[in-house]
Structure 1
Amino acid sequence: MLNILLQIGGLLVLIAGLATLPLPLPIGLVLIVVGLSLLATSSQRVRNMIRSWRKRNTRFNETMRNSEQNSPNWIKSAIHETDPDGEFNESES
């Protein structure tokens, strides 16, 4: 049940981030990172997909790395798990 709530919440926050992306304030990027972090904590498939995006898109990867430095621990953990160059071992999760 918690996984379903995390996925729904993450999807809603991600959609809100995409909707606010064109605004002059950077709130859209923050919401996208939070939404992806919520989704990544609940699904291995999403973690693999984000890792793949980060490998292909260096700007997205840098945005995620910059966000990791200023985020709460639960978001840092989710971002670190999706780092394509990180030393995260899937057996640790």
Structure 2
Amino acid sequence: MKKPDPELLDSDNPEWGEADFARARPAADVLPADLQEAMGIRRRGPQKMPVKKMITIRLSPEVVDGFRATGPGWQARVDAVLKNWLKTHRA
């Protein structure tokens, strides 16, 4: 491992080691609520709609590229198209 440049060392702010990272906690767990609010730290609230299932699905490149080209939210649009298809195609 390369030795650090002594000119760049700051004894008031030493580089973190493995033990430091092991002790670290998320800011949202240790900061007071009013400070979190002032900093814009928000936790996700309860879901308003049913939770979706995470799955793996294989789609043709044309389908994926076409939906991705429509911008953010493309996966929700794929979900909407499939829901619409299910309205007329029941097993």
TM norm. shorter chain > 0.5? no
Superposition TM-score, scaled by structure 2 size: 0.24
Q: Which has the larger radius of gyration?
A: 2
Q: Which has the higher helix share?
A: 1
Superposition TM-score, scaled by structure 1 size: 0.24
